[in-house]
Amino acid sequence: MTENQRGNRLDPWLDSYAERAAGLRESEVRSLFSVASRPEVVSLAGGMPNLKDLPMADIAEATKQMLLRDGYKALQYGNGKGLPQLAEQLTEVMAYEGIEADSANILITTGSQQAVDLITEIMINPGDVVVCEAPSYLGSLGIFRAYEAEVVQSPIDADGVIPQALEETFTRLEREGRKVKFFYTIPNYHNPAGVCVSEERRPQIVEICKRHHVLIVEDNPYGLLGFDGRTYTSFKSLAPDHVLYLGSVSKIFAPGYRVGWACAPSAMCEKLKLASESAILCPTSMGQYSISMYLSEFDWRNQISTFRGMYRSRRDAMIQALNDYLPMCQWNVPEGGFYTWVKLPQGLDAKDMLPRAVTNLVAYVSGTAFYANGEGRNHMRLSYCYPNEQDIREGVRRISEVVNRDLELVSLFGTAKRPAPGQH
Ligand code: PMP
């Protein structure tokens, strides 16, 4: 019996799928969702924005007024590129971060996630190389895998991606005759590492990518969430023709509208639009009208400062708890965004440890989710965005119980893996 014939009993369509469907796998975060969302589990796993500070009654009222005014357009198909008035407003959001953009170069997408999908669709033949940071955002790694890209990850440190290592990566790949199509980077308040690319490194990275003719895909959903309001020079500002910039309202307002955008050089913007139209006809009209209403009628800049303060106090709770309960680990102190990237002591394995953590009623994401090749076992991503300060502290305390037990096993047996029954 062949593998497919065996599989047919479970899924009669198994031998009809395209080969690339084999690359579609449940992400490590999604598969955790069902357990992690049980009320007794403290989840430091997901990266869900915390919406508790949104003025919900005001949003409801404004949405009603918007529908009474624009409802026949908001509930209708729109054009493939997106609502022009919203594209204009999104240039103001970019300007708030110091980035100059022309609304003609903006394509509105279904979250920035769809923009990553579109650029991969139009750029990648199976086997082409995408270079990204090590670690990188798991949602984008999933897209690259689905399009059968080969993912090569280049190391980062506390100042973000390391220029010299990036240069070496490109040079090695070129020597091997492998085509690098783009460099995917999250330069600000990185997911999962929490770091920013230093100002000093930014022009160096641009210069390296230009020299090797590699497009920079600058994915920037967290750039306005620096706790001190600090923003960085964007790659796009340094090299407008060499960068595909991705933005999102998910973290600075709300993800439920599913509105993100790509800002691309003109010809590329046209190609992305055609790809988007063939996938979805047009981005969500209701979402776009709602975001447009929010950006014109609400003090969104002030809302962003409220978010910054709320995430800062959660970050503080996380760092305090790490200091108190996990002194045997190492971590960065993020200056913005949602995540801490925690290194476990020698001999501990975040992926192996996860079921024990969940049994102890706490969830995190194993570092392996952020690598294409199974690395990352010595790291875990702890998100502080969603739970409150007490839960963050309790979650870290529960992790520390598991870490301490595993450390004891490592000191006794050289491994934290429990011997199978009957084995000694
Ligand atoms: N890029 C990064 C780095 C992210 O963290 C996320 C969401 N977690 C996205 C893209 C997708 O965001 P959205 O589709 O909601 O805009």
- Separation of alpha carbons 341 and 330, rounded Å: 8
- For 315, the 3-state DSSP assignment is helix
Ligand 1 center to residue 339 CA distance, Å?
Answer: 13
For 254-269, give the DSSP string: -GGG-EEEEE--HHHH
Q: What percentage of the chain reaches a pLDDT higher than 90?
A: 87
Atom of ligand 1 nearest to the CA of 259: 16
- Separation of alpha carbons 381 and 194, rounded Å: 9
- Separation of alpha carbons 113 and 106, rounded Å: 15
How big is the chain, counted in residues? 424
Atom of ligand 1 nearest to the CA of 258: 15
Q: Is there an atom of ligand 1 within 6 Å of 221 CB?
A: yes
Strand partners, 260: 109, 248
Q: Where are the alpha helices (DSSP H) in 14-83?
A: 28-36, 56-74
Ligand 1 center to residue 139 CA distance, Å?
Answer: 7
What is residue 421's predicted lDDT score, i.e. its pLDDT? 59
Q: What are phi and psi of 364, to 5 degrees?
A: -145, 180
Residue nearest to atom 9 of ligand 1 (CA): 113
Q: Is there an atom of ligand 1 within 6 Å of 185 CB?
A: no
The one-letter code for the residue type at 307 is: F
Q: Where are the extended beta strands (E) located within 106-174?
A: 106-110, 129-134, 150-157, 160-161
Q: Is there an atom of ligand 1 within 6 Å of 112 CB?
A: yes
Atom of ligand 1 nearest to the CA of 250: 15
Q: Is the pTM of this model over 0.85?
A: yes
Q: Is there an atom of ligand 1 within 6 Å of 339 CB?
A: no
The one-letter code for the residue type at 18 is: A
pLDDT digits (tens, 9 = 90+) for 323-342: 999 999 999 999 999 999 99
* Residue 21 reports pLDDT greater than 60: yes
Question: What structural domains and CATH numbers belong to the chain?
Answer: 17-46+302-408 (3.90.1150.10), 72-297 (3.40.640.10)
Greatest alpha-carbon pair distance for the chain in Å reads 73
Ligand 1 center to residue 225 CA distance, Å?
Answer: 14
- Separation of alpha carbons 352 and 58, rounded Å: 46
Pocket test for ligand 1, best of 33, 113, 114, 156 (most atoms within 8 A of CB): 113
Handedness of CA 110, 36, 192, 54 (dihedral sign): positive
Residue nearest to atom 5 of ligand 1 (CA): 191
pLDDT digits (tens, 9 = 90+) for 49-92: 999 999 999 999 999 999 999 999 999 999 999 999 999 999 99
- Separation of alpha carbons 391 and 296, rounded Å: 36
Ligand 1 center to residue 6 CA distance, Å?
Answer: 37
* Residue 423 reports pLDDT greater than 60: no
